[in-house]
Chain A
Amino acid sequence: MRTDVSSPLVAAGDAVSSWASSVLAAWGPGADALYLATSEAGAREALAFWAAARATGFALAAPGAFPYTLANAPAGRIGTALGIRGPSVTLLGTFGDALAAATDDLADGLCTRPLVVHLDPVTPALTVTPAPTPWRLTHTVLTPTSLECYPSAPSATVVAGALER
């Protein structure tokens, strides 16, 4: 399959994942699974990809940009950057949804040390025109002892400056 890494859409799609990976790098070592919840990941990319495809004609749509239209694109990039080979789970929802799924799977033995993340823009996409947007990243790492304090597992939140589109 062709991928076009020079596409501006690809670069834009990577900006959020790259920032998230840099934040999570300190938390990643030892994590054997990634649970990422989002409502917006892939949305701006899908809107932009489709708008560009209609403008240029489908035959000239940016091939490398399509994978970034998927909600699990950030989890794939983050997991690769952190070298996580266990479960990679993207949920469409809130940090609580990711926490619940990770806690269930931890209790069921699917993983032993999941990195739990919520990644979304500070303000949701309300327009078809992408614009630089700050993103919020909430994260924690669960261990088997965390099951004793669910759902109050401690977490940290980081907000990026507006990530350029």
Chain B
Amino acid sequence: MKGLLLKDWYEIRYQYRWFLILLAVAGFSSATGQGNAVFWGCYMMILVAMIPLNTMGYDEKSGWQKYSRCFPVSSGHLVLEKYLLGVIALIVAVGVYLLFSAIFYFIPGVGNAKEQFFTILAAMITVGVFPMALMLPLNIRFGMEKARVYLIFFIIIVAVAAGGIFAGAEDLPMIVNFLAGINLDLFILLLPLISIALLAATYPLSVWLYHKKEW
């Protein structure tokens, strides 16, 4: 596991040098409470969520994915390494946000209000974890390029379905009542937990898909 993480670390350092600057800027912006703090926080997390997915793409392209299958490492560990890489990257990104938030706490007029702080944090974790939970098994099954295409189709279908439901919601009292009954604050705070549970749930699926894969 350590060797695999080390390989990805070297690769990230080589491919993503610019990213560290972007991470600092996004973390700073999300913690200021100014302008689009939520946007910056979520943007940072999406970039970070792409890290394990992009390393999988590099592995595919370089032949490392096939080669690493020949190592004395089980399929479970090979897959776990990518999940762990994603989780570590997300923790680092959240850490950047928390660090800047802590700094700005002592500067009057700057920094997020308490409610906004937790909302941004919840949104960041959800936006960071959910794509990983969706894309890791897809990447393993279909490869990087096809997985991206399937994800786009999925997003379009979900968007169209959601649009259709909301457009016709007025005629469906059940939907109106359901939406009105949702405690939005609680829902936003639950989303990260749901995303983390989904990520954990996709791990055995990913291991099964990886084990079945042929080169």
To the question of whether A and B form a pair in one complex, the answer is no
Q: Which residues of A contact B (CB under 8 A)?
A: none
